[in-house]
Copies of this chain bind each other. A is one copy, B any other.
Amino acid sequence: MILQATQDLLLERGYYDTSMGEIAQRVGVAKGTLYQHFESKEALMIVLFKREFHDLQVAIEQIAHMQVGAQEKMTLMIDTLCYHIAEKHPLFFILRNASDLQAEIHYEIKETFNGMREQIALMLDEGKAEGIFNACLPTEVMLEALFGIIVSRLFKNFHEGLQVQYGDLVGHLRCIYFHGISAPTTTDESKLCP
């Protein structure tokens, strides 16, 4: 499958060092065949990223519609994100990292991406309403911090001999994030709004 080969190559070499020729060679077809399926390199990437994010998008939507507290939703959220980023979709890392990716690609992905952001933003707002997340923190900042922590180099290096176990790593990140955004206790004034 073209998309799979592209993904592999993307992870091995990065966007700019992956040529259409290499993709074709890897798939075992001619370059022309690629262009019969995808209008351009950009189009191929867009389809690839969209497909890759689709599962995640669905999972997030399911979580968003669950009838549980924000805390639990976000816990599932983080686990899901970690799962997709670490195990199945290291492309997430590329997408976030590749400030180089052509603007067109980012533009096309944005819609999908913004949908996910909004769903998570809602969860965070729910948490604030429930009083369990720190209402002083702007949701956007919390959101960015989430991605900052989760889309971590650690997952990229995961298979390259990191001594931490996957489950523990997820636990640590969840721990840091949750305590980072949790509402202040009565004895903790450092979290009050400025």
Contacts and interface: CB of A to CB of B under 8 A. Distances in A.
A110 B90 CA distance: 22
Contacts of A14: 98-101
A137 B172 contact: yes
Contacts of A145: 148-149, 152, 173, 176
A1 interface: no
Nearest to A162: B140
A179 B175 CA distance: 10
Interface string A8-25: 000000111100000000
Nearest to A192: B175
A62 B49 CA distance: 43
A168 interface: yes
15 contacts: A14-B100, A15-B16, A16-B16, A93-B99, A98-B99, A137-B172, A140-B154, A141-B154, A145-B149, A145-B176, A147-B153, A148-B149, A149-B149, A175-B191, A178-B190
Closest 9 CB pairs of A and B: A180-B180, A14-B100, A176-B180, A148-B148, A16-B16, A97-B97, A148-B149, A97-B99, A141-B172
